[in-house]
Amino acid sequence: MSLLQPASLLPFFEWLEAHPLSVAIRESVWFYAVDQSLHLVFLAVFAGAVLVVDLRLLGRGMRQQPVAHVARDAQSWLIWSFVGLLITGIPQGMSTAMKVYYSPFFWFKMEVMLVALIFTFTLRRRVTLADEARVGPFWGKLVGLVSIALWTAVAIPARLIGLLS
Amino acid sequence: MSLLPWFEWVNEFPSSIAIRESVNGYPALLTLHVVSMCLFAGLVIMMDLRLLGVGNLRTPFSQVQKRLFPGQMLGLVVSSVSGLVLVYGQPVRFYGNIFFWTKAMMMVLAAVNALAFHLTTYHSVAAWDSDAVMPSGAKLAAAFSLALWAGVVICGRLIAYNWFNPI
């Protein structure tokens, strides 16, 4: 799982580490803890919003409803919880910039997250909002599985950034 | 009647020591705990949003509850087992941690809340199942559930911060 940090970004991460905001966060007894806690709460909401749709795609969950209904209902929760994850994630990354820069788990998470975001807001979005009869069960299940796999592959290294470095 | 002697006793078990001295064991357990938490808490939140009448409104509540239950239970089992193994590996540490006990109590309260709801308001579900505006008993149960599980997640995270002297 080792992915090298881009050398070109080193100055940026050094700048982040030294930034007054980063210093303030590191010196605060409570900020980082509260921020991480909120990050986890947003994560739970995000996971729910992703999973209700993916479970439905897999033919489980709320299967008496059309996929599009489940997806439309979950959409704003998906988007806003992700915004929450960003807002609480950036201060963590900033204040520990050099630690995350040298963490292969950080880079793996970011790269998979980019793929997951693109997948979620293009292919998955099209499949979930489309007419089920046109998509067919196979593609629906594949999209559901890929979505779960991708986001799990974001969550696992994310947890390991803090534990193994 | 103090539980401490029991926790101290388990603390010396070779298997307990092995868990906390394992380089990869602890990170693996914690990661499993967090991922299964996402499954459990995520689905509980989606259900509570429907019960509150603010989310997933296209689906009747009883359907949301029934259909998400298996996933919630799988998440609960894996989180609980991984959580128990985590505590088993460091009993004395968790015993002395106020956030651990607060978390445990919030989980008990969340269970009581769920049971109370099922024994009372849920009986009339046929009357309000498809409604967007939910009865007050439903909204109360949902609000408590959301607050308690958010509290569990937050306390879980704060265990790692040794802000208070051990109990």
Mutant choice from A62, A64, A78, A80 vs B, greatest count of B C-beta within 10 A: A62
Residues of B in contact with A163 (CB under 8 A): 26-27, 30-31
Amino acid at residue number A71: A
Of B64, B150, B154, the CB nearest to A62: B64
B121-133: b (≥16 Cβ within 10 Å) or e: bbeeeeebeeeee
Distance CA A87, CA A158 (A): 16
Both tokens of B164, joined, read 């208070």
Give residue B38's domain range: 4-158
Q: Which pLDDT score is estimated for A63?
A: 94
Check whether A2 has a pLDDT greater than 70: no
Kindly identify which residue of chain A lies nearest to residue B62, measuring between CA atoms: A62
> Scanning the structure block, which residue is given the tokens 């960003």?
A86
Kindly identify which residue of chain A lies nearest to residue B65, measuring between CA atoms: A62
In terms of Cα–Cα distance, which of B45, B67, B77, B55 is closest to A56? Answer: B67
Instruction: Say what the pTM is.
Output: 0.96
Contact B56 A44 (CB under 8 A): no
Both tokens of A39, joined, read 């990050």
**Domain extent listing, chain A:** 7-163
Residues of B with CB under 8 A from a CB of A: 26-27, 30-31, 34-35, 37-39, 41-46, 49, 55-59, 63-64, 67-68, 70-71, 149-150, 153-154, 156-158, 161, 163
Check whether A164 has a pLDDT greater than 90: no
Q: Is-contact B138 B155, C-beta < 8 A?
A: no
Q: Which pLDDT score is estimated for A3?
A: 66
CA distance B45 to chain A (A): 6
Q: Which pLDDT score is estimated for A131?
A: 76
Of A33, A64, A159, the CB nearest to B30: A159
**What contacts B63, CB < 8 A, 6 or more positions away?**
A62, A64, A65, B129
pLDDT 10s digit of each residue in chain B, 167 long? 789 999 999 999 999 999 999 999 999 999 999 999 999 999 999 999 999 999 999 999 999 999 999 999 999 999 999 999 999 999 999 999 999 999 999 999 999 999 999 999 999 999 999 999 999 999 999 999 999 999 999 999 999 998 998 98
Band the pLDDT of A1: cuts 50, 70, 90.
very low
Check whether A121 has a pLDDT greater than 60: yes
Q: Is-contact B63 A62, C-beta < 8 A?
A: yes
Q: What is the ipTM of this complex?
A: 0.96
Of B38, B58, B149, the CB nearest to A43: B38
Question: Does residue B167 lie in a domain region?
Answer: no
- At B155, phi and psi to the nearest 5? -60, -40
Q: Which pLDDT score is estimated for B44?
A: 98
Per-residue model confidence as pLDDT tens digits over A24-44 = 999 999 999 999 999 999 999
Residues of B in contact with A69 (CB under 8 A): 58-59
CA-angle at A127, arms to A121 and A131, nearest 5°: 135
Per-residue model confidence as pLDDT tens digits over A63-108 = 999 999 999 999 999 999 999 999 999 999 999 999 999 999 999 9
Per the structure, the count of domains in chain B is 1
3-state secondary structure of A131: coil
CA distance B22 to chain A (A): 13
CA distance A122 to chain B (A): 22
- The pLDDT of A42-65, averaged and rounded, is 97
Instruction: Give the torsion through C-alpha atoms of B29, B31, B34, B39, to 10 deg.
Output: -100
Q: Which pLDDT score is estimated for B58?
A: 95
